[in-house]
Structure 1
Amino acid sequence: MAAFSLPASANETHHNVSASVSASPVSQQVTEAVGTVRGIDAENKKITIDHDAIASLGWPAMQMRFTYTEATPQFTDLKEGDKVSFTFIQQENISLLQSISVR
């Protein structure tokens, strides 16, 4: 019997997060970042962004896929190459986009 199991989509993130694990459910800390849109996958509700370093998380600049939902404000004018400001929360191995706007 295992005490826990890893989600099947564990390869969805592209970074090593060294946050401590606690008994609390999911951290709802909203993180602000800036970057450049590299792709939009509307079918899978993913957006790929080359983001600058995020000091609050200790992350270097990198390219990541962020998930969005119906609750995410619409960004119909967004296109590849746009410079954006965005916010997200980290839910286990999913980076969930909260807001995004062209800079």
Structure 2
Amino acid sequence: MKKTLLALAVLASLTTTTASAQAGAFIQGMPMKGAVKVGRGSGVVTAIDLKAAKVTIKHGPIAALSWPAMTMAFTAIPPALLKTVKVGQRVDFAMRMRGSVAEVTAIRAR
């Protein structure tokens, strides 16, 4: 009986360890909710939505994030940043990714 209980305890321990390792491997490639990455870019403002505090920028590659050139919307943090730029302007900007949320934290017209 003692050997059976010991064998069950070892089996349970191995199963838990294997499940934890598999979960860790799955999560490793995913952006974590609290993970923050920062970068700098430059591009052209293609749209501004003051109500949603969003700016859309057609930007070049952002090396710090391994991003290719693309057009995407960023949330402005703080929203007052959007009052300093206009559609069609070339801009330099600082940004961060919090999980899957892209935020512009500074923006300056060229």
TM-score (norm 2): 0.65
Give secondary structure in 2 for the equivalent of 1:56. helix
* Corresponding residue for residue 99 of structure 2: 92
Structure 1: gaps (5+ residues): 1-18
Structure ID, larger Rg: 2
- Give me the whole-angstrom Cα distance separating, in 2, the residues matched to 1:24 and 1:93: 8
Q: Which protein has greater RCO, CA pairs closer than 8 Å, 6+ apart?
A: 1
User: Which letter maps to 1:66?
Assistant: F
1:74 aligns with 2:77: no
8 Å CA contact 1:35, 1:49 repeated in 2: yes
User: Which letter maps to 2:35?
Assistant: V
- Give me the whole-angstrom Cα distance separating, in 1, the residues matched to 2:101 and 2:53: 12
* Corresponding residue for residue 25 of structure 1: 34
1:47 aligns with 2:55: yes
The structure carrying a bigger helix percent of its residues is 2
* Corresponding residue for residue 9 of structure 2: none
Matched residues, number: 83
Q: Percent identity?
A: 30
- Give me the whole-angstrom Cα distance separating, in 1, the residues matched to 2:98 and 2:32: 14
Deviation, structure 1 residue 78: 1.1
Give secondary structure in 2 for the equivalent of 1:30. strand
- Give me the whole-angstrom Cα distance separating, in 2, the residues matched to 1:75 and 1:42: 7
Structure 2: gaps (5+ residues): 1-27
TM-score (norm 1): 0.69
Deviations 1:38-66 (A, max 9, x none): 00011111100000011221111000000
Give secondary structure in 1 for the equivalent of 2:105. strand
Q: Give the superposed CA RMSD.
A: 2.2
